[in-house]
Chains A and B, each alone.
Chain A
Amino acid sequence: MDGRVSLDRVAMRFGDFTAIQPTSLEIQSGEFFSFLGPSGCGKTTLLNIISGFLTPSEGKVSIGGEEMIRVPVNRRPTAMIFQNLALFPLMSVYDNIEFGLEVRGVDRSARRRKADELLELVALGGSGHKPVSELSGGQKQRIAIARALAVEPRVLLLDEPLSALDLKLRQHMRTELKAIQRQTGITFIYITHDQGEALTMSDRVAVMSAGRIEQIADPMTLYRDPATAFVAGFVGENNRLAGHVTAADGELVTLDAGLAVAVSGRARQPLAVGDSASLYVRPEQWRVGTPDDLRLPFSGIVQAEHFEGAWLTLEVALDSGPTLRVQVPHVVTGDGVDAQLRVGGSCRLDYSPREAVVLPGAEPSPEAGEVADVAATA
């Protein structure tokens, strides 16, 4: 079963508005691929183009090597799981799951066998005769998966299907979706604005912004090596220190960010002395020490503390101005660094330049709202 999906310069315009910039993309057969981006970035439009609900203004879509543009939605080898699931409320669980098979003219007993198989797969065996209205949120979720899998799609499209569930159930369903994907070997294309979902389940993630793909990479690369300022800000939390390049030594680049000491990090692309650039250091990459630990070059004052269970997040105002978000592990015995940190108290900080990333441009990415914007006036 060939579930490759390829987009060839696909673009979508609605009147004057460009929803998707020309985009080319290859998704492997059997891959769990996610589109991650804020609402309005065009990810749902892209999903609708793959499923056939929308015809792109330009470009080609093929699935398993077959050209799809002229194939209507009901004849594409895809199945969609909708955000609101869209189970048929007037039908029983069996009728929902068997709908696609009934359409394909599969006879009654074969349909029922398949439905029972799928109910076992989603761990809801024996509930086939229930009306859909009697199911809980999580059960409805599973029935929606079973209904989509019943038509044996080559590609399963999932449009933020977990967003309606509560936190615990959502985390549980992530594991389950991933397991189902492995078991069936079907290509999953998953749309979400929740980076937790994208990072935990996907083989690869495409981060989208304003109708464009910013970066396609596996989750770890995405987190460690963001290719653009948008990705650096959108995926996970980041501290941005803006300045200009003072030294470029191979991969390591040093910036003057207006702090007491120069900062440096890995550059993904060559930068020349004098270029404006930003250094990104994630909150958990900071090492925090007591005020007398002079091995740590940066010093600051704790402005606020947020207790988050495993982590304690601090807002630390550096002496030279910008405020950083810093995470330290929470130590239950009370003899860790966290016990000595008090709001209003001072502390010292350091990070490892090998972990930090330098990207060109001193301006914050306009859409990446989650960047703790600490740009110093350089």
Chain B
Amino acid sequence: MWQQLHNRFGLPLTMAIVGLLGVWLILMVLLPQWQMIDYSFHPSLLPSERGGEKDVWTLANYVTFFHNDIHLAIFFKTIWSSVLVTALTLVVSYPLAYYLAKVATPGQAALCLLLLIVPFWINEILRTFAWYIIFAFRGPLNELLFALGLIDRPIRFLNGDTGVLVGMVYAYILFMVFPLYNAIESLDGNQIRAARDLGAGWLRTHRRIVIPHAKPGIATGCIMTFMLAAGSYAVPALLGSPGSRWFTQIIYNWFFEGGDWNQGAAYAFLLLALCILFVTLVMRIFKVGLGDIAK
């Protein structure tokens, strides 16, 4: 690689490129991560005790997690709910992406994309607050359902997981729509026509032709949505209730309410490790390589 860069850009520019890359990797990626790993394997100590005889390597922070049933439950609930969010986002995004890529005229597609993107010019917290208002006990959604005669008393949307799920699907939908759109868009329209012509109904056409073609896009969208959902803080904090707490909220509590950074760092790493494991597993199952996702 060095040789290639050197041939193309000459020595000074190559050194600058490699140097900047190194600085970025070391300062922005490796050092902070190392710091957190280091924290997670040490006990939480007063400043005066640091470097003293109590400052030893320990697995205690990790052990705490496995002895706390509530944290364990929230941890797996977070993973499960993130899977649910991902699945829901996929179900909502797929028809939309298909419409944008294969059905809509260029004008319709542009308008649709604009409508999708405009809300994202507003800060995520504010968008989430908008849902907080919509979902409120005496909020517009309840009013609407009531006026339509679908319910006879207001529903507490913000009580359980409903608000969190909807809020997250909304928050991450673009991360699903765009990879899907890109993947479906690259499918030759004649493939769909050929499948129809050979007698396939719409369901089979999607199952056998469109979805297999869009698989890398689906995997990319799912991985991004899952990682964002599992690591989300604002949505569960605003739209959830104590019953629907997210693991990120526990991590936050360790850091900023418990003041125990070491414990928090251990929890954060557990979440990271599990997410990586989960994503690797999904990629194995769907036979998608890293190369497919980078496309």
Contacts and interface: CB of A to CB of B under 8 A. Distances in A.
Tell me which of A51, A82, A86 has the highest count of chain B C-beta atoms within 10 A of its own C-beta.
A86
Given A84-B188, A88-B191, A147 B213 contact: no
Interface string B168-204: 0000000000000000000010110111111111001
Nearest to A147: B198
Interface in B21-67: none
B228 interface: no
Contacts of B198: 74, 79, 99-100, 103, 147-148, 151
A80 B194 contact: yes
Contacts of B193: 53, 73, 80, 82, 86
A104 interface: yes
A44 to B, nearest CB: 12
Interface in A92-129: 99-100, 103-104
A73 B209 contact: no
B208 interface: yes
A75 interface: yes
A79 B198 CA distance: 6
B197 A103 contact: no
Main secondary structure of the interface of B (DSSP, over half): helix
B140 interface: no
A332 interface: no
A78 interface: yes
A74 B196 contact: yes
Nearest to B209: A88
Given A84-B190, A86-B190, A79 B197 contact: yes
A90 interface: yes
A122 B13 CA distance: 59
Interface residues of B, number: 17
Contacts of A148: 198
A290 B186 CA distance: 63
A100 B199 contact: yes
B10 interface: no
B212 interface: yes
Interface in B191-248: 191, 193-201, 204, 208-209, 212-213
Contacts of A104: 199
Given A82-B190, A82-B194, A74 B213 contact: no
Interface string A142-186: 000001100100000000000000000000000000000000000
A32 to B, nearest CB: 20
Using C-beta atoms within 8 Å of the partner chain, give the interface range for chain A: 20 to 34
Interface in A23-67: 51, 53
A88 B199 CA distance: 15
A99 B208 contact: yes
Contacts of A103: 198-201, 204
Nearest to A72: B196
B197 A51 contact: yes
Contacts of A79: 197-198
A80 B199 contact: no
A90 B212 contact: yes
Contacts of A75: 199
Given A84-B188, A84-B190, A90 B213 contact: yes
Nearest to A144: B194
A176 B55 CA distance: 84
Given A88-B209, A90-B213, A99-B208, A74 B190 contact: no
Contacts of B200: 74, 99, 103
A86 B192 CA distance: 9
A74 B204 CA distance: 11
B218 to A, nearest CB: 14
A280 B218 CA distance: 62
A99 B204 CA distance: 10
A100 B201 CA distance: 11
B204 A86 contact: no
A278 B44 CA distance: 103
Contacts of A83: 190
A363 B113 CA distance: 52
Tell me which of A51, A79, A82 has the highest count of chain B C-beta atoms within 10 A of its own C-beta.
A82
A4 B231 CA distance: 63
B196 A73 contact: yes
A103 B205 CA distance: 10
Contacts of B191: 86, 88
Contact of B188 (A51, A74, A86, A100): A86
A192 to B, nearest CB: 18
Tell me which of B194, B197, B209 has the highest count of chain A C-beta atoms within 10 A of its own C-beta.
B197
A75 B188 CA distance: 22
Interface string B136-166: 0000000000000000000000000000000
A104 B194 CA distance: 15
Contacts of B213: 90
B201 A74 contact: yes
A86 B205 CA distance: 14
Contacts of B195: 88, 99
Contacts of A86: 188, 190-191, 193-194
B260 to A, nearest CB: 51
A80 B191 CA distance: 12
A73 B198 CA distance: 9
Contacts of A51: 197
A80 B209 contact: no
10 contacts: A53-B193, A73-B193, A74-B199, A79-B198, A83-B190, A84-B190, A90-B213, A99-B200, A103-B198, A103-B199
Interface of A: 51, 53, 73-75, 78-80, 82-84, 86-88, 90, 99-100, 103-104, 147-148, 151
Given A88-B191, A88-B209, 20 more contacts: A74-B199, A74-B201, A78-B197, A79-B197, A80-B197, A84-B188, A84-B190, A86-B188, A86-B190, A88-B194, A90-B212, A90-B213, A99-B195, A100-B198, A100-B199, A103-B198, A104-B199, A147-B198, A148-B198, A151-B199
A-B CB proximity, top 4 nearest: A86-B190, A100-B198, A86-B194, A103-B199
